[in-house]
Amino acid sequence: MAEETILESTERTSGREALRKNVQAAIALAGAVRSTLGPMGLDKLLIDDEGRTLVTNDGVTVLENARVEHPVARMIISASSTQDRVARDGTTSTVVICAEMLRNAWQLVRQGVHPATIARGFSQAEEFALSALSELKIEADLDQIKSAVETSLAGKMDQASQIHLSGLALEAANNILKDGRADPTRVKVIQQGGSKIGNTELTSGLAIAKTKIHPEMHENGGPGTILLIDGGIERRKPLAETKISVESVGMLDAFRAAESKALAKQIDNLISIGCDLVVCREGVDDEAKQALANAGILAYRRVESKDLDLLANSCGATTVHDATRASKADLGVFIQTREELRGGVNHWILDAEDGGATLIARASTKEVLGEVERCFADALGVACQLVEQPWLLPGAGATQVALARRLRRHAESISSREQMAIEAWADALESIPRALARNAGLDGINMLLKLTAAQAQDGPNIGLDLESGGVSDVIERGILEPFNITRQALTGATEAAVSILRIDDVLWAQVEAHIPDEIQQQLAQGN
């Protein structure tokens, strides 16, 4: 009686019914993105409240922009987002595998297997699969790395655009590689509309659509020192509204002279610390422009905070708030500075030791530009992983089938009910080649059987050939996927599935009906 009183405003679902509803939510979520999987996957058109449209093939983009309220579905979306953040690819695979694990787990629960037993079996299967995965990996050469980066864009754009963007991504990854690590955040993207994707280009260094603030300044030069100011070189403005009472002749001139002196003090300090280039987030006073030009200091203004951060990381500079208080320790170092006209827009380009690179993305429309940027980000993430750790796995479903075959043999050595869970986990892996085949207009089950038989005879490098409707050696065809992407997908999908299996009680707080604010305002006005 006490429990009913406490939970009187809460809807409760427990036991098998809770698990059934959670599994249904997972399957429905996977159904929304399964058709985007693979080189022949289809696109999704997303429309927000304001009528803005987004056409994409990226699974995590679809899920993150959709209005999903079910908590279990949100857990799986979180796993997909983590996959995107860590590996940059494999987001759809993570969702599909997780949903298939839960579907198979529900069938075992209906047969009398406890969810805790299934969770233990799933964890054992994951541990064995990750060990077997290391045996399947190959150390890639440059051509194989290039093929793997192209494979990461399969189905997202036309083939010419895939090749072009993947080549730029690999070039960018090599440019930012330092001490065995490539940080994709050091690559900046600038969008320019009114052109075609093939005109997208990569330039070394950081490019910012800016022009020097004074025509007498020399935009080409280097090496030198750079100072970053999170502010401007301007006359000081009062913090509040003030009025100046001029009581004598020359008082206003004295006030202006004091302002000029303050400006001159800032310029003198820049000269004393040996600054060759100054970059401001805010403006530069006209008087200061001429003084900087006379001192031989190149200057740029109205530079965004995120660009200041990139410049700071590239040049080793410390951002200051006031030029007067800047010191030599705050200065960074650059190799070369130059201005170039690209696509009809003047760009200031700075090269530094850790200068990174800039992609100037071009496309015909704003929507396509957004997709170009997303595709390049995915390709760059994959390229950075591969230049750091060139490990690859057979693609086109070959790795998933090879793991499933090994898991089934391993399950035969398990005498407890976990054996059934391991087999269910293996079956979930095969959902990937089935989905690939279906998205290509082929029979998923027939293609899976054909692939399994071929691997039993010719080894684990045999994968689907979606163009011919058969199977072939994917290593020879260059269809490869990064080791880290597959490993993260298996780990993320398993952790999400196990977490959901351990839920046996769902409590929904009932939301009381209320009158919308708009209606309340109308009623108030009517009274």
Tell me the backbone φ, ψ of residue 381, rounded to 5 degrees: -60, -40
Annotated catalytic residue within 36, 61, 92, 494: 92
Q: Are 196 and 403 in contact (CB under 8 A)?
A: no
Annotated catalytic residue within 91, 117, 203, 225: 91
Of 154, 160, 151, nearest in space to 200 by CA: 160
Q: Is 91 a catalytic residue?
A: yes
Strand partners, 342: 345
Angstrom distance (rounded) from CA 422 to CA 412: 10
Q: How many CB atoms lie within 10 A of CB 31?
A: 12
Angstrom distance (rounded) from CA 127 to CA 487: 11
Of 67, 123, 339, 100, nearest in space to 221 by CA: 339
Q: Is the peptide bond before 460 cis (omega within 30 degrees of 0)?
A: no
Q: Is 58 a catalytic residue?
A: yes
Strands 391-394 and 357-363: unpaired
Q: Is 56 a catalytic residue?
A: no
Q: Are 46 and 56 in contact (CB under 8 A)?
A: yes
Annotated catalytic residue within 89, 276, 378, 465: 378
DSSP letters, 142-206, are HHHHHHHHHHTTTTTS-HHHHHHHHHHHHHHHHHTEETTEE-GGGEEEEEEESS-GGG-EEEESE
Q: Is 141 a catalytic residue?
A: no
Annotated catalytic residue within 36, 56, 58, 203: 58
DSSP letters, 422-486, are HHHHHHHHTHHHHHHHHHTTS-HHHHHHHHHHHHHHH-TTEEEETTTTEEEEHHHHT-EEEHHHH
DSSP-assigned letter for residue 14:
E
Q: Distance from first CA to last CA of the chain, Å, rounded?
A: 45
Just list the catalytic residues: 58, 91-92, 378
